[in-house]
Amino acid sequence: MELSTICVALCADKNIEVGLHVTLYSLLESQQHSVRIYFLQKGYNSADIVKIQKTLQPFDGKYELKVIDFDDHIFSKYRGLYGNKFTFVRLMLSSLLPEDKVIYLDSDLVVKKDLSSLFCLNLNEYVIGVSGIGNIGYSLENKFFISIGLDNDARYFNAGVMLINLEKWRQLNITKQCLEFADKYPNMLLAADQTILNYVFYKNNFYELDKSYNVALYPSSVFIESDSTNGVFHFVGSPKPWDFLGEFIHSNYPLFQSILSKTEFKNYKTYLDLSFAKLKRTLRLSRSYYKISTNRFRQ
C-alpha cells in the first residue's frame, strides 16, 4: 500500500512556543507526503492555536493538526528538566494516540529531511528507533546508572527524535515500566524522561537510526549553513536560540532564524517582552550562560 500520510507527535508547553513554530514549519516544508500532527499541549489557548495555523498556512491541505490538552500534574513528584515536567508526557503517547506507529519530535528542531522513509521503516522486534547515540559513560546520569548496575559502555540515546511502534509499546506495557522506574527514583531523573527511556531500553533494546535524524547543535557547536539539507538539526543544551540573548550567543542562530523568519514569530526578539516565566527560566539557565561566556573568553 502506497504511503499517503505520516504521523508525528510533539509535546510542548508555552515555554517552548517559539521553537515549536520553527519545528512545525520546517517539518512541513521538508515533507513530500501529508502529515498528521498530534500536538500534546499545556497552556495554549485558542488564539495560540490560531497562531500555529497561521504559521502553517502555506501548507494548507498538506497537514492535519490534532490538539490534545494534557495536565502534567501526575508528574509533579518527578525531577524536571530545568523545572519543566511536561516532557514526561511523551511517555503517555501510546494511550493518547489512536495510531500503531508515530514519529515523536522534540520542539527544538529544524527539520530539513523528508521523514517518509523513517515512518515506513520496519522496526521488527524493536519498540523504538532512535538516533543521537553515545554511551552511558558520557551521559548526565552516568554515576546514577552505574550505581544501579548499568554498564558504563552501554549505548545511550537522545530521545528528541524517535520512531515508536505504539502497538508493541502497548503490548509490552512500556508506560507502566517507565512510571515504575520514575516512582522508584523520582529525584534522580537528571534528563527527565530521557533518563527513564534509557533505563527501560537499556543495552540493545532499540533500533539505531541514521545519525542524520538527530544532529546535535549545542550553543557553541560548529556553524551549520542555513541551506544545509538532509538532516534533522536538534538544538540540544541551553540556552536555546529563542532564550534570552540567543541571537548573540548561539552559534547556529542563523539556521534557526532562517525558519523563524517565515513564521508568525518572524519579528521575535529574545530581549523584548520579557515575561516572568522567561526571566525565571533565564535564572535557571544562569550556569549555562556563565559556561558559554567563560569558554568564549578563554578562546
What domains, with CATH codes, occur in the chain? 5-298 (3.90.550.10)
CA atoms within 13 A on the CB side of 37: 31
Residue 243, Cβ neighbours under 10 Å: how many?
23
Query: How confident is the model over 263-292, as a mean pLDDT?
Result: 86
The helix/strand/coil state of 265 is: coil
Measure Cα distances from 288 to 122, 142, 247, 285 in Å. 39, 20, 15, 5
Q: Rounded CA gap, 222 and 236, in Å?
A: 13
Query: How confident is the model over 100-118, as a mean pLDDT?
Result: 98
- pLDDT value of position 87: 95
Mean pLDDT of the chain: 93
CA-nearest of 196, 172, 194 to 183 is 196
Per DSSP, helices labelled H in 166-271 are 166-171, 174-184, 193-200, 246-249, 253-260
Measure Cα distances from 114 to 122, 157, 235 in Å. 17, 22, 19
Q: What is the pLDDT of residues 125-138, one digit of tens each?
A: 999 999 999 999 99
Q: Which residue has the higher pLDDT, 297 or 210?
A: 210
CA-nearest of 118, 206, 192 to 155 is 206
- pLDDT value of position 1: 47
Cell of 99: 495510531
- pLDDT value of position 293: 62
Cell of 243: 532564550
Contact indicator for 265, 246 with CB cutoff of 8 Å? no
Q: How confident is the model at residue 140 (pLDDT cuts 50, 70, 90)?
A: very high
66-103 burial code (b ≥16 CB/10 A, e <16): eeeebebeebeebbbbeeebbbbbbbbbbebbeeebbb
Query: How confident is the model over 33-51, as a mean pLDDT?
Result: 98
Strands (E), the chain: 5-13, 34-42, 63-69, 101-105, 109-112, 128-135, 155-165, 207-208, 215-216, 231-234
Sign of CA dihedral 175, 180, 183, 186: negative
Q: What is the pLDDT of residues 202-211, one digit of tens each?
A: 977 999 999 9
Residue 109, Cβ neighbours under 10 Å: how many?
25
